[in-house]
C-alpha cells in the first residue's frame, strides 16, 4: 500500500491535533470535575483512545510514498536522488534523476552522460588522464582511474592467455568531426548507427576505449567473450549491447567499453543481460 506525500502529511497532522485535543480534554476534565472521580473507567477509555490515535499516526507515517515515475520495465533504480544544485540544473530524467550540466558536460547522479541527446562541449578536454593529452588521438590518455582498472583487466586477461589491447582511446572533438564526416561519405545515413557526431562521442571524454579489431567479429573471439563476462568487474560496461540499438542509437559494439566504476557497472551487467545507461537513468539518445 502507498499514499502520496501530501496525504500522509495531512493525515499525520490531523491525528496529531486530535490526539492533543483529547489529551487536553482529559486533563481539564480530570482536574475540574473532582466530583466525578467514580467514573474512572471513562478516563481510562479516553486515555486508551488517545494512545490508539498516536499509534495510528505512527503507522500512517510509515506508509510508503507512491512513486509516480515508476516505469513498467525490469530496470530497478535504487540509488537515492541527488539534491539539485540549481546552478547546474539541466532537467530531470523520466525516472526522476536530476540532470546537471557542468564544465561542458552533462551529469546524471554524478555519471558523465554522452549520447545522441547529450553532447560534450567543443572545448571539453578530460583533465585527470593517465598520460597527458598532447595529440588529437591517444590510447593512454584515458581517465586515470579508468586506465589503472584497464591495466588490471589486461593483466588478468593475459594471465589466461588472452590478448586484449586498446585500438582507440581518447579522440578530440576535431578528430571526431573528421572521422564522422569520413564515415558519412562512405556509408551515408547508416554511419549514424556506428559513428558519433563531434561532441557526441564518448571517446572525447577519456572514459571510453575500443578494443582489438573494433569489429563485430570480436564478440565471438575468446577475448570478446571474456570481456563481455568480466569487464564489469573492473568497472567497465559494454556501452552498446546487442538488441539495444533502438535505445542507445547505435548498433551492437562489443568492442566499445565505457568506464563507469564498479558499482554502476555491476548493476548494468545485470547477470549478463546488459542494461543501457539510457534505460537505467531514463533518458533518450536522439539527435535534436
Ligand atoms: Zn568506441
Q: What is the pLDDT of residues 114-156, one digit of tens each?
A: 999 999 999 999 999 999 999 999 999 999 999 999 999 999 9
Q: How far is the CA of 223 from the centre of ligand 1 (A)?
A: 17
Residues 146, 229: one domain? yes
Cα 172 from Cα 206, distance rounded (Å): 9
Cα 187 from Cα 138, distance rounded (Å): 25
Cα 162 from Cα 158, distance rounded (Å): 5
Cα 97 from Cα 58, distance rounded (Å): 30
Q: How far is the CA of 150 from the centre of ligand 1 (A)?
A: 15
The reported pLDDT for the residue numbered 35 is 64
Residue 103 lies in a domain: no
Mean pLDDT of the chain: 89
Profile the chain (288 residues) by mean pLDDT over runs of 10 residues.
71 81 79 68 79 78 55 44 72 97 97 98 97 97 98 98 98 98 97 97 98 97 98 98 97 98 98 98 97
- Residue at which a domain ends, from 22, 47, 65: 65
The reported pLDDT for the residue numbered 76 is 45
Residues 45, 183: one domain? no
Which residues are close to ligand 1, an ion, with C-beta < 5 A? 210, 256
Q: How far is the CA of 42 from the centre of ligand 1 (A)?
A: 78
Q: How far is the CA of 177 from the centre of ligand 1 (A)?
A: 14
The reported pLDDT for the residue numbered 37 is 61
The reported pLDDT for the residue numbered 71 is 36
Q: How far is the CA of 161 from the centre of ligand 1 (A)?
A: 24
- Residue at which a domain ends, from 65, 92, 117: 65
The reported pLDDT for the residue numbered 78 is 45
Q: How many CB atoms lie within 10 A of CB 74?
A: 9
Residue 182 lies in a domain: yes
Residue 116 lies in a domain: no
Q: How many domains are contained in the chain?
A: 2
Residues 157, 255: one domain? yes
Give the pTM.
0.71
Amino acid at each position: 500500500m502507498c499514499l502520496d506525500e501530501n496525504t500522509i502529511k495531512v493525515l499525520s497532522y490531523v491525528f496529531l491535533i486530535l490526539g492533543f485535543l483529547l489529551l487536553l480534554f482529559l486533563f481539564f476534565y480530570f482536574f475540574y470535575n473532582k466530583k466525578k472521580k467514580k467514573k474512572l473507567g471513562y478516563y481510562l477509555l479516553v486515555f486508551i483512545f488517545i494512545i490508539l490515535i498516536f499509534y495510528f499516526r505512527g503507522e500512517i507515517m510509515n506508509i510508503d510514498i507512491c512513486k509516480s515515475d515508476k516505469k513498467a520495465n525490469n530496470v530497478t533504480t535504487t540509488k537515492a536522488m541527488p539534491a539539485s544544485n540549481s546552478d547546474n540544473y539541466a532537467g530531470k530524467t523520466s525516472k526522476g534523476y536530476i540532470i546537471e550540466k557542468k564544465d561542458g558536460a552533462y551529469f546524471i547522479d554524478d555519471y558523465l552522460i554522452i549520447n545522441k541527446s547529450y553532447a560534450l562541449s567543443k572545448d571539453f578536454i578530460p583533465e585527470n588522464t593517465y598520460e597527458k593529452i598532447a595529440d588529437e588521438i591517444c590510447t593512454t590518455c584515458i581517465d586515470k582511474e579508468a586506465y589503472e582498472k584497464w591495466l588490471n583487466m589486461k593483466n588478468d586477461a593475459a594471465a589466461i592467455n588472452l590478448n586484449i589491447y586498446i585500438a582507440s582511446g581518447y579522440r578530440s572533438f576535431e578528430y571526431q568531426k573528421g572521422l564522422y564526416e569520413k564515415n558519412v561519405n562512405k556509408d551515408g545515413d547508416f554511419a549514424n548507427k556506428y559513428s558519433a557526431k563531434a561532441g557526441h562521442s564518448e571517446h572525447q571524454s577519456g572514459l571510453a576505449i575500443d578494443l582489438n579489431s573494433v569489429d563485430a567479429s570480436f564478440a565471438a573471439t575468446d577475448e570478446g567473450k571474456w570481456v563481455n563476462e568480466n569487464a564489469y568487474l573492473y568497472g567497465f560496461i559494454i556501452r552498446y549491447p546487442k538488441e539495444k540499438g533502438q535505445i542507445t542509437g547505435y548498433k551492437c559494439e562489443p568492442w566499445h567499453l565505457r568506464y563507469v566504476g564498479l558499482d554502476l557497472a555491476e548493476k548494468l551487467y545485470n547477470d549478463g543481460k546488459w542494461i543501457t545507461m539510457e534505460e537505467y537513468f531514463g533518458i533518450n539518445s536522439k539527435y535534436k
